[in-house]
Amino acid sequence: MIKNSLLVALAILATLASSGCGDGRAHSQAVYMLVDTSGTYAQESSKAVKIVSYLLATLNPGDSLAVAKVESRSFTEKDYVARVTFDNRPSHATEQKRAFKAKIEAFAKNTKGSAHTDITGGLLQGAEYLNETKAGIKTIVIFSDMEEDLDKGAVRDFPIHLDGIRIVALNVTKLGTDNADPRKYLDRLSRWEARVRKAGAADWVMINDLENNMDSILGRH
Amino acid sequence: MNWNSLLIWPSNVALSLLALFLLATVLLYAARRQMHGVIHALCHMVASSMRVASRWLFLSADTVRERNRMVLLAQGESEASAHIEREFERIANIVRKDLQEYPSLQRKLMEEVTRIEDDYRRCGEVPPPPPEWVQALESVSQIKSGGDIPRKLLEDIHKSVQKIHDKTVAEFRRSYEERHKILKSLMPTWRSVSKSMEEMDKKMISLETNGKQIDDHMSKYESMRAKDNKAEHALTVSGFVQFAISGLVMVIAMGGAFINFKLIALPMSEMVGASDYITNNLKTSDVAALVIILMEASMGLFLLESLRITSLFPRIASMDDRMRHRLMLAALVFLIILACIESSLALMRDMLIADKASLMRDLSSSAPPAQESGLLTHIPMAGQMIMGFVLPFALAFVAIPLESAVHSMRTVLGSLTVQFMRALGFLCRLIGVAFRRLARVLEMTYDITIVIPLLIERMVGASGFSLSDKSHQPKTGRAS
């Protein structure tokens, strides 16, 4: 009887081993959101809060979320607004989500516009954060007009690595110059797309209709 | 591959193809006898193999059927004997419990009958004594001399008679009254007798019914012992029906288990983690919930087994009563503990859902949450808790259809195996026959490709010389 039970247990273990024991992190998602605070775009911060709320509502226990601002030089830990890896227990995760939202709301109230916009630095820091989480699905959400304006001395013209990371550009507003010449807007977008794809990004998605296409942020159509 | 390399004259494709065709025709004609032999041998080989396979399958099907029949009849005999034993036990119980009181009942009845007879006698009508004064009256009437004496005598007699009459009437009425009282006191006795008789009647009817059932079971048992085809058929049909019914009940139970699973899967994530996975698609919390449900089913199985409702484990059935009782208590305690765990998980589920709903409200707006009516929000929670407590016990009863399914599965699978083997045997035979015919078809098809040389051969043959026939003829010298 005991022998049979042992055999059955071994068979189950062998089946599990052959099917590949699951790694919890491989099933989790990690999202890094860059919020542009430069110039007039800082006024859009209320929309950013809505997006963070959506992400908080959608992400599950075990997932990671970080929000960082895009400033004159964005490759620094100081730019993190909030970051969290949700606890495995749903009740704790809910508490963490509440605290996270409070931090984001406080940030949105006290946003100060920066002189320059370093999106590349933010992307580099985002990729670093996401790779550290070892999540199965990694997404960088860029809440910006995608107009990069680097500070003097900031070096960003080198190849970057975004292997396996989805890049989602949100609320890419048109600038005054874009209205005069729409090619500038289109060129700007195609340039960014080419750059992130060359960097090895898994996907490039642009969403301007935040009311109806929110589900596309995490690739849920 | 370059097709031009196959051409004799690549510059002239048509001529090359013609030359190749002629060459092929000659070669095919030359190899006709051998090719026919190969086709025939191959087809014969396949046909023979199929025939052998078909025969083996039919024989095996018969063997399996015979074995099934033996097992089925043995099973049926065992069941019928168990039924008969149970009926005898019932009769024994009736006889022991009810009819052992028969002598006292009979005594009671006899006593009551005697009492009734006595009372009946006592209430018999006593005729009034004959009037003695009639003769005196006759004597007085015969006195011939007149006067007042006879008149006075008659008046005295009249008075006396009147007195006696009044007294007698009063006495008569009193005795009637007494008799009525006696008859009235008889009524409960009559009722008691009637009740006793009715009880006896019921017991006798019950005994008679049991006797009839035993007769039915005995006739079934006898037909099984005689290995009757009708009995085998009835047992097979009964097996299929049992399998279908138990399957249906088990599907319903699986529905209950699914609801149960849904009830505890979410709160289990609070205990074992929501983001842990055992395999790529299998969450640890789901597996934990499933394990709880399977444990409940197992405990239910042991409980029913120790109660001797099911008999899936001979080891438990053969345990002594004390051990079996302990096992039953252990299974019951475990089942209650699991039911309590499930009930608390259901409560936790409700709390988690409420917490999540509150978070969603917080995320969607900054307005304070609306106050909800306490009673209304508690109804689903109470419902979930009750369901969480009750479902494990309901799930425990799945052992009964499981046992039925296990027992009837042997019959069903046996019958299906026989049918499958027969179908396979038939298919093999069909393929064998087809291959036997195919040999001729392939030979004729082969001959179509060399129709020109065959025509020539026929023409030459008509003139008295045949190349192929000559080549077909065996050498007489060697044959002899």
Residue B474: the pLDDT is 45
Tell me the Ramachandran region of residue A134: left when phi exceeds 0, alpha when psi lies from -120 to 50, beta otherwise. left
**Is residue A99 predicted with pLDDT exceeding 90?**
yes
| Cα–Cα distance for residue pair A157/A79, rounded to 1 Å | 21
pLDDT of residue B61: 92
Residue of B nearest to A64 (CA): B275
Instruction: Quote the minimal CA–CA distance from A36 to chain B in Å.
Output: 22
pLDDT at A63: 92
Residue B122 pLDDT > 90: no
Look at residue B42 and tell me whether its pLDDT is greater than 80.
Answer: yes
Residues from chain A that touch B270, judged by Cβ atoms under 8 A, are 89-91
Residue B34 confidence (pLDDT) above 80: yes
8 Å CB contact of A22 and B280: yes
pLDDT at B46 over 50: yes
Instruction: Look over chain B and give the mean of its residue pLDDT values, rounded to a whole number.
Output: 83
CB atoms < 10 A from the CB of A163, how many?
11
**Cβ separation A62–B273 shorter than 8 A:** yes
Alpha helices in B31-147 (DSSP H): 32-97, 102-122, 133-141
Residues 6+ apart with CB under 8 A from B337: none
Residue B124 has pLDDT above 80, yes or no: no
Tell me which residues of chain A, numbers 49 to 108, contact chain B at a CB-CB cutoff of 8 Å.
Answer: 53-54, 56-57, 60-63, 88-91, 93-94, 97-98, 101
Give residue B262's identity as a one-letter amino acid code: K
Q: How far is A114 from chain B (nearest CA, A)?
A: 28
B311 φ, ψ (degrees, to nearest 5): -140, 65
A113 part of contact set with chain B, CB < 8 Å = no
Does A31 score more than 90 pLDDT? yes
Bridging pattern class, strands A165-170 and A29-36: unpaired
pLDDT tens-place string over residues B131-178: 666 677 777 777 766 667 777 777 887 888 788 888 888 888 888 888
Asked if B285 reaches chain A (Cβ–Cβ under 8 Å), the answer is: no
**pLDDT score at A59:** 92
Q: Give tens-digit pLDDT for B211-253.
A: 888 888 788 778 777 777 777 788 888 889 999 999 999 999 9
Is the Cβ–Cβ distance between B198 and B105 less than 8 Å? no
First vs last Cα of chain A: how many Å apart? 52
Q: Give me the total of CB pairs closer than 8 Å, taking one residue from chain A and one from chain B.
A: 76
Contacts of A107 (CB under 8 A, 6+ apart): A45, A67, A69, A81, A82
pLDDT value at position A197? 93
Decide if A168 contacts A142 (C-beta within 8 A): yes
B362 contact A CB<8A:
yes
- Please list, in sequence order, all residues whose beta carbon lies within 8 angstroms of the beta carbon of residue A86, skipping any fewer than 6 positions away: A59, A60, A61, A62, A63, A64, A65, A92, A93, A96, A97
pLDDT at B372: 59
- Residue B94: pLDDT over 90: no
**B253 near B401, Cβ under 8 Å?**
yes
Q: Is the dihedral of CA B211, B217, B223, B228 positive or negative?
A: positive
Q: pLDDT: is A182 or A21 the higher one?
A: A182
Average pLDDT, stretch A92-111?
90
- The answer on pLDDT for A125 being more than 90 is yes
Q: Are A38 and A112 in contact (CB under 8 A)?
A: no
Complex-level ipTM: 0.77
- Tell me which chain B residue has its CA closest to the CA of residue A16: B279
CA dist list (Å): A176 to A145, A150, A181? 12, 19, 9
| Burial group, residue B80, by CB count within 10 angstroms (0-12, 13-18, 19+) | buried
Does position B2 have pLDDT exceeding 80, yes or no? no
Q: Is the pLDDT of residue B479 over 50?
A: no
Which whole number is the average pLDDT over B361-382? 71
pLDDT of the residue at B180: 82
Mark residue A148 as left, alpha or beta (left: phi above 0; alpha: psi -120 to 50; beta: remaining): beta
Q: Which residues of B touch A23 (CB under 8 A)?
A: 277
Residue of B363, B365, B366 to mutate, interface with A, max A Cβ within 10 Å: B363
Q: What is the mean pLDDT of residues A120-142?
A: 92
Cβ of B274 and A88 within 8 Å?
yes
Q: What is the pLDDT of residue A9?
A: 52
Token pair listed for B347:
């409560």
Query: What percent of chain A stands above pLDDT 70?
Result: 88
Mean pLDDT of A5-27: 53
Q: Nearest residue on chain B to A95, judged by CA atoms?
A: B359
Residue B101: pLDDT above 60?
Answer: yes
